[in-house]
Amino acid sequence: MVMVSGNRHARARRFREWSSGINRVLPRIPGEVTSVIEELKARGFQAFLVGGALRDLFLERPPEDWDVATDALPDQVEEVFPDRLVVHTGKRFGTVRVLAGEIPVDVTTFRREGAYTDGRRPDWVEFRESVADDLSRRDFTVNAMALDPLAQKLVDPFRGRRDLRRRVIRTVGDPLSRFGEDALRMLRFYRFQAVLDFRGEAETERAIAQVAAGDPSLLAKVSPERIREELNKLLTGIAAGKGLRGLVRTGLLTIIAPEFAPVVKTPELMEHLIATVEAIKPELHLRWAAFLHDLGKPATRTQDGTGVHYFGHEQAGEKLAAVLLERLRFSRAFAEKVLILVRRHMFPCDPGMTDTALRRLAAKVGQEALFDLLELRRADIVASGNHYHRAWRALSGFASRIQALLREEKVLTLTELAVNGHDVMAVLGLAPGPEVGRIMQELFYWVTEDPERNTRERLLRYLEEKKKKE
């Protein structure tokens, strides 16, 4: 139970705060979820709403997942809900998924866990009878509360409610022990700061820095997929910069992404990348592109009488980014979406470009990537600060030109030409091969000079004339 201290008035005030918080949470718990707890209790078991759902309810955020903790063993849970079970691989770790209406609810037996030597699952699970024991194994205090909505009873042995009010993330008990059980919790420490816009407890961060300096191999046990998911959530959080700066401060960033080691040694460049992330829309591929777009600068830095240069840094950055994204096992489609932005982020955006040049740029990157590049350039300008107004005016003028072009014209890709590769082969007598693609590109460039040329008749005539010349 929540402990109170101080004089009678202070106790009364804290009790009112405690009870009002409970009363705000109760109506927001779906009846289907409450019914799972009700059915377990009707069979004589304990049952509590726990985890992130309870935390989010107190914060008045919509929960993503629903978790119930109980002293019922997994087989007993299955007996309570014989017709509502969902196939789930977590039974041997104490979890049975129950379908409450359309809502999946993970029902987990109170437990204590061993170490996560594979970086994914505990080596052993010991079922317990006390919800307090179960809460003691959890990562952070804000996730270590349990609510019985029927009895309106909150179990909060680690003062998670207080930490929610203080907007602080700290571990349950000794941070070194918690991180030794599962090293991913170090990333989660910063993920929660980024997503909730909380601050991290200093003692917990010191422990992370100690682990990063003394045993960096600990994170090597964590699967790339789990690291990827934590980074995804961090990068799209409302305070992504807070989380990223923490990763840099403690040395975690270079452990999970050694490609950043040269960047971290240049604090102004590292800060620029973080500021670009903060400035760009919170879409996953855009946040990753913002974080990676200047990754190649340290490797390409040169200096001469005219100043410092980073010639070709976008190509160097693309190679480094590709290695990182592959190691984190992103899909090929997602990686390419990010890499095209890294590769093209230095695209010319002169408002005075000819329509032909604009069409060719659009053809190289595609319409979707073109607007993403505009957003990346906008964020890059905001994060740079130098010559802000002049760069902003140029980008605005360029964006207006692009939008007008898209409204007025349709020919922006090879697929939109009025002829195709089969027509080229038929007229010129070619076999399938690179030459067909080269000629299609030639046709496209001819059309970009004057979109009115994009008719089947005119393009076939162009090919016939080309055949005669050859």
For 250-293, the pLDDT digits (tens) are 999 999 999 999 999 999 999 999 999 999 999 999 999 999 99
SS (H, E, C) the chain: CCCCCCCHHHHHHHHHHHHHHHHHHHHHCCHHHHHHHHHHHHCCCCEEEECHHHHHHHCCCCCCCEEEEECCCHHHHHHHCCCCEECCCCHHHCEEEEEECCEEEEEEECEEECCCCCCCCCCCEEECCCHHHHHHCCCEHHHCCEEECCCCEEECCCCHHHHHHHCEECECCCHHHHHHHCCHHHHHHHHHHHHHCCEECHHHHHHHHHHHHHCHHHHHHCCHHHHHHHHHHHHCCCCHHHHHHHHHHHCHHHHHCHHHHHHHCCHHHHHHHHHHHHHCCCCHHHHHHHHHCCCCHHHHCEEECCEEECCCHHHHHHHHHHHHHHHCCCCHHHHHHHHHHHHHCCCCCCCCCCHHHHHHHHHHHCHHHHHHHHHHHHHHHHHHCCCHHHHHHHHHHHHHHHHHHHHHCCCCCHHHCCCCHHHHHHHHCCCCCHHHHHHHHHHHHHHHHCHHHCCHHHHHHHHHHHHHHC
Tokens 């309106």, residue located:
152
Residue-level pLDDT at 317: 97
Residue-level pLDDT at 37: 97
For 341-394, the pLDDT digits (tens) are 999 999 887 777 887 787 777 777 777 788 899 899 999 988 987 666 677 777
For 75-100, the pLDDT digits (tens) are 999 999 988 887 666 777 788 999 99
Q: Averaging pLDDT over each range in 2-16, 80-94, 437-451, which range is the top one?
A: 437-451
Higher pLDDT, 319 or 14: 319
Residue-level pLDDT at 117: 59
Q: What share of the chain in percent tops pLDDT 70? A: 89
Indicate the range of 118-127, 169-178, 284-293 predicted with least confidence: 118-127
> Which residues lie below 8 Å from residue 419, measured CB to CB, with a gap of 6+?
443, 456, 459, 460, 463
Top CATH class of 1-166 equals alpha beta
Q: Is the pTM of this model over 0.85?
A: no
Indicate the range of 35-44, 160-169, 398-407, 413-422 predicted with least confidence: 398-407
Higher pLDDT, 405 or 155: 155
Residue-level pLDDT at 240: 98
